[in-house]
C-alpha cells in the first residue's frame, strides 16, 4: 500500500472547499497548508483535527488525536485512511445572485400585481470550517461559489419577495419607485439571511441589491406607465380626468350643433344647473360656444368663466359683473389670527373673538402691533 509523503492544495482559486484525492495517508506525511486556508482531517464523517497555515507532520507526537484513527505498531510507521479537506478562509465578495423568474408583487399604491426581477452580489467567508464541511459540503469533491448560490437560491428569492413587499407597504410607495430604497432593502435582506448562513459556518460579509426591475412588455406595467404619464401631463396643464372628459364631450356637442345631440346637451346642462352641479358645465359650454362664435367676451371676477361682454350676470355662478365692489363688505377679508371671514364693519372676529385691527387703507385685518399691512403694503406713520 502506497503511503502519501506530501499533501498540498491543488484546486482552483475560487473553490471554497477542496478534497485531496488520495485518502491513503501515513504517519510522518507532510501536510502543507497555504495562507488563508485551513486543512481539516476527516475520518468516518467526523472532524478529527483542523490545521492552520504552515507545514505539518502527521505523527502522534505532535497530533495525539491520530491515536483515535489508527493503532500504531511499536517503533514503526503505519498507514491509515482519512480525508483531507482544504477550506478557503479568504473573502469572496463577488458572488452574483438573481431571481430565476419574475416574482409577483402587489403594488399597494395602485393595487395591481406586477412581475418583479431582482439581482445583485453578495460576499461570504467561511467562519467555521468544521460546521461548513459537515453540514454543507458532505460528499462532494469540491464546493465553489456557484454551488453556494445554488444552495441558497430558495432562501434569497423568498427573502427578496418579503423585503420588497414590506417596503412597498410600510413606505406606501409604488413598485416603479422601489429603486430609491435599494440600500434599505439590501441591509434588510442581509439581516434576514445571515442567521441561516451561520448555521452552515458561513459569514455573510455583504449583500447588495443592484437592481429591481419590471418587464417593459408586461400588460399591467404598460397600463400603469401610460396612466402615470397621462396624470403627469394633466398636473402640468392644470386639469383632471373628469374635466378633460367633460370638456371633450361639450366641445364635440358645440361643434356638431346641427345634430340632435346639442338640444339634449342643453337640456342636460339645464337640469344640472337646477341641481347646483351645472355651474361648471354651464360655464364650460358657454366658453366653448364663445370660442367658436368669435364674439367679444369678458371674464367673471368670481369663477373666471368667459361670458359675452354685454352680459351682466355670469351664467356659471350668477355673479353681478357690473356691481361696484363695496370695500366695507369685501368677502376677501380674513382674520389675521385664525383666517375667519370678516368684513369692513367687523369689530371682533366671529371665529376666535379677537379684536380686528383694520388697515386704514384697504380695511383688511392687520396683525397685532404690525407696522405694515400684508394685503396692500400700507405702512403706519
At 51-90, the pLDDT tens digits run 999 999 887 666 666 666 665 554 555 677 888 999 999 8
| pLDDT computed for residue 276 by the predictor | 43
Tell which wins on pLDDT, 86 or 219. 86
pLDDT confidence of residue 267: 45
Residue 288 has pLDDT above 60, yes or no: no
Lowest-confidence segment of 2-6, 8-12, 135-139, 193-197 by average pLDDT: 2-6
Choice between 278 and 183, residue whose per-residue pLDDT is larger? 183
Q: What angle do CA 269, 274, 276 make, to 5 degrees?
A: 90
361: pLDDT confidence band, cut at 50, 70 and 90? Answer: confident
290, pLDDT greater than 60: no
When pLDDT is cut at 50, 70 and 90, the band that residue 322 belongs to is: confident
Residue indicated by cell numbers 406586477: 114
User: Could you tell me the strand order of the sheet in which 37-43 lies?
Assistant: 46-51, 37-43, 83-88, 15-19, 142-144
* Residues in the chain, overall count: 381
Contact in structure between 283 and 315 (CB atoms under 8 Å): yes
> What are 80's strand-pairing partners?
25
Cα separation, 341 vs 349, in Å, equals 8
Which position has the grid cell 386639469? 239
Residue 204 has pLDDT above 80, yes or no: yes
Higher pLDDT, 9 or 343: 9
Dist. CA 374–CA 359, nearest whole Å: 10
pTM of the predicted protein model: 0.54
- Binned at pLDDT 50, 70 and 90, residue 203 comes out as very high
With a pLDDT cut of 90, the percent of the chain lying above it is 13
Average pLDDT, rounded, for the chain: 76
315 pLDDT tier (thresholds 50, 70, 90): confident
- Kindly tell me if the per-residue pLDDT of 210 is higher than 50: yes
* pLDDT surpasses 80 at 49: yes
- Tell me the range of 8-17, 95-104, 199-208, 351-360 where mean pLDDT is highest: 199-208
Residue 321 exposure: Cα atoms within 13 Å on the Cβ side: 20
In this structure, what are the phi and psi dihedrals at residue 131, rounded to the nearest 5 degrees?
-65, -40
What are 106-120's pLDDT values in tens digits? 888 777 788 888 899
- Concatenating the DSSP letter of every residue in 272-294 gives HHHTT-HHHHHHHHHHHHHHHHT
pLDDT value of position 272: 43
Amino acid at each position: 500500500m502506497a503511503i502519501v509523503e506530501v499533501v498540498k492544495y491543488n484546486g482552483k482559486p475560487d473553490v471554497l472547499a477542496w478534497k485531496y484525492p488520495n485518502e491513503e495517508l501515513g504517519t510522518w506525511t507532510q501536510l502543507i497548508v497555504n495562507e488563508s486556508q485551513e486543512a481539516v482531517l476527516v475520518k468516518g464523517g467526523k472532524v478529527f483535527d483542523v490545521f492552520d497555515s504552515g507545514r505539518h507532520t502527521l505523527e502522534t507526537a505532535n497530533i495525539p488525536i491520530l491515536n483515535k484513527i489508527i493503532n500504531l505498531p511499536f517503533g514503526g510507521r503505519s498507514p491509515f485512511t482519512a480525508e483531507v479537506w482544504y477550506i478557503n478562509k479568504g473573502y469572496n465578495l463577488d458572488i452574483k445572485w438573481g431571481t430565476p423568474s419574475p416574482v409577483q408583487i402587489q403594488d399597494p399604491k395602485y393595487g395591481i400585481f406586477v412581475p418583479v426581477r431582482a439581482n445583485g452580489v453578495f460576499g461570504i467567508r467561511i467562519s467555521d470550517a468544521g460546521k461548513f464541511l459537515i453540514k454543507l459540503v458532505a460528499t462532494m469533491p469540491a464546493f465553489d461559489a456557484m454551488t453556494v448560490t445554488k444552495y441558497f437560491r430558495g432562501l434569497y428569492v423568498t427573502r427578496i419577495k418579503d423585503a420588497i413587499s414590506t417596503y412597498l407597504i410600510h413606505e406606501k410607495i409604488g413598485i416603479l419607485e422601489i429603486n430609491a430604497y435599494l440600500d434599505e432593502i439590501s441591509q434588510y435582506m442581509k439581516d434576514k439571511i445571515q442567521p441561516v448562513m451561520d448555521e452552515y459556518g458561513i459569514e455573510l460579509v455583504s449583500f447588495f441589491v443592484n437592481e429591481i426591475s419590471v418587464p417593459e412588455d408586461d400588460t399591467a406595467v404598460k397600463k400603469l406607465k401610460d396612466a402615470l404619464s397621462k396624470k403627469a401631463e394633466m398636473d402640468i396643464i392644470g386639469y383632471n380626468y373628469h374635466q378633460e372628459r367633460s370638456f371633450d364631450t361639450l366641445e364635440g356637442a358645440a361643434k356638431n350643433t346641427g345634430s340632435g345631440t346639442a338640444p339634449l346637451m342643453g337640456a342636460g346642462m339645464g337640469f344640472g344647473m337646477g341641481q347646483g352641479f351645472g355651474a361648471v358645465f354651464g360655464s364650460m359650454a358657454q366658453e366653448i360656444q364663445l370660442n367658436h362664435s368669435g364674439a367679444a367676451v369678458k371674464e367673471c371676477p368670481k369663477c373666471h368663466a368667459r361670458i359675452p361682454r354685454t352680459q351682466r350676470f355670469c351664467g356659471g355662478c350668477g355673479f353681478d359683473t357690473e356691481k361696484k365692489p363695496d370695500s366695507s363688505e369685501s368677502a376677501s377679508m380674513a382674520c389675521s389670527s385664525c383666517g375667519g371671514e370678516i368684513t369692513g364693519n367687523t369689530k371682533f372676529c366671529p371665529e376666535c373673538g379677537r379684536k380686528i385691527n383694520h388697515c386704514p387703507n384697504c380695511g383688511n385685518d392687520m396683525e397685532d402691533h404690525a407696522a405694515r399691512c400684508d394685503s396692500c403694503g400700507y405702512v403706519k406713520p
